[in-house]
């Protein structure tokens, strides 16, 4: 873990931000693990913060590496517009009360990739002692999730790096979250499918309107999102992985995990109420 001396001095959200910038915000994109959750649990104040965003008329789209089973269940249960899962392999939403999942790849491509994923998973398990398949891997539709810190003892950085290397040698895109190493075939990622989801569901352009959205996250697989959005926020635990990020978030909350998310929402809605 990096020492405090190696960490950049990130302004606390919303320090140095004019209230007018926050009043322009129309939506929030958010990671789930370590951002909405604290120690694997969803705090009550975090769920309430999501409700408050929706009641204020803002769009809310979680963007996660979690599997399709999680995404489709939470789409039904949470007050959100959609959930992007498996690092951009699909997004799920409700249309007239019915669940709809929009995949990036067709069924034949996904089936072929899952066969390749099964073979690679067995190699990784053999070559990297201490790792395991993510507990929900059997419910993944398009990617491979290797547990490095959720239900196994945290792996040393060299072991995590080896998992990433094996995935990339196989032609995968590989990213590291706070709990899993995720790998997938294809060019999609959290940002590309966020663009697609916002355009198709909301008629929003996340390039032309990127200053109207907040992204909040905590891990290395959020790097493209941190780089794209001027109003990018890391919950406090993002400090642990700042050396892994090519571009850090623009701001950081004082609190970690779900409490940090709620802190960000408090600041965002206070600025809107004062406008």
| 107-184: CATH class | alpha beta
In this prediction, residue 256 carries a pLDDT of 98
In this prediction, residue 7 carries a pLDDT of 53
Spatial CB neighbours of 253, under 8 Å, sequence gap ≥ 6? 12, 13, 233, 234, 235, 236, 260, 261, 263, 264
In this prediction, residue 17 carries a pLDDT of 85
Residue with tokens 């075939």: 185
Question: Looking at residue 154, what DSSP letter applies?
Answer: P
Boundaries of CATH 3.90.1070 in the chain?
107-184
Q: What is the mean pLDDT of residues 224-228?
A: 97
Note if the pTM is more than 0.85. Answer: yes
Residue with tokens 């269940």: 73
Tokens representing 46 are 């975090």
Over 50: is that where the pLDDT of 264 sits? yes
pLDDT band, very low/low/confident/very high, at 3 (cuts 50, 70, 90): very low
pLDDT band, very low/low/confident/very high, at 8 (cuts 50, 70, 90): low
Boundaries of CATH 3.40.50.1000 in the chain?
4-103+188-274
- Strand spans (E) along 26-97: 27-30, 59-62, 83-85, 90-95
Alpha-carbon gap, residue 54 to 199, rounded angstroms:
19
pLDDT cut 70: percent of the chain above it: 97
* 4-103+188-274 CATH: 3.40.50.1000
- Which position has the higher pLDDT, 17 or 42? 42
Instruction: Please state the separation of Cα 78 from the chain's center in Å.
Output: 16
| 59-84 tens-digit pLDDT | 999 999 999 999 999 999 999 999 99
In this prediction, residue 6 carries a pLDDT of 47
What angle do the packed helices 257-274 and 44-55 form, to 10 degrees?
30
What φ, ψ does residue 265 adopt, rounded to 5°? Answer: -65, -40
Mean of pLDDT over the chain: 95
Alpha-carbon gap, residue 224 to 205, rounded angstroms:
16
């Amino acid at each position: 873990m990096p020492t405090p001396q190696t960490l950049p001095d990130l302004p606390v959200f919303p320090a140095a931000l004019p209230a007018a910038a926050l009043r322009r915000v129309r939506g929030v994109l958010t990671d789930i693990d370590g951002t909405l959750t604290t120690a694997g649990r969803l705090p009550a104040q975090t769920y309430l913060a999501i409700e408050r965003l929706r009641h204020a008329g803002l769009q809310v789209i979680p963007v996660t590496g979690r599997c399709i089973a999680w995404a489709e269940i939470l789409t039904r249960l949470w007050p959100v517009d959609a959930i992007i899962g498996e690092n951009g392999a699909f997004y799920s939403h409700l249309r007239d009360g019915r669940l709809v999942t929009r995949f990036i790849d067709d069924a034949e491509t996904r089936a072929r990739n899952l066969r390749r994923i099964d073979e690679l998973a067995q190699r990784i398990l053999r070559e990297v002692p201490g790792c395991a398949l993510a507990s929900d891997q059997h419910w993944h539709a398009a990617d491979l999730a290797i547990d490095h810190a959720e239900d196994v003892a945290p792996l040393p950085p060299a072991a995590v790096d080896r998992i990433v290397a094996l995935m990339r040698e196989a032609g995968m895109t590989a990213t590291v979250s706070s709990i899993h190493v995720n790998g997938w075939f294809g060019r999609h990622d959290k940002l590309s499918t966020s663009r697609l989801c916002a355009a198709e569901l909301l008629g929003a352009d996340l390039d032309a309107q990127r200053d109207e959205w907040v992204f909040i996250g905590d891990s290395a697989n959020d790097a493209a999102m941190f780089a794209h959005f001027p109003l990018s926020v890391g919950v406090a635990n993002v400090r642990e992985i700042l050396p892994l990020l090519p571009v850090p978030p623009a701001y950081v909350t004082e609190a970690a995990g779900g409490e940090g998310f709620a802190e960000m929402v408090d600041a965002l809605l206070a600025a809107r109420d004062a406008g």
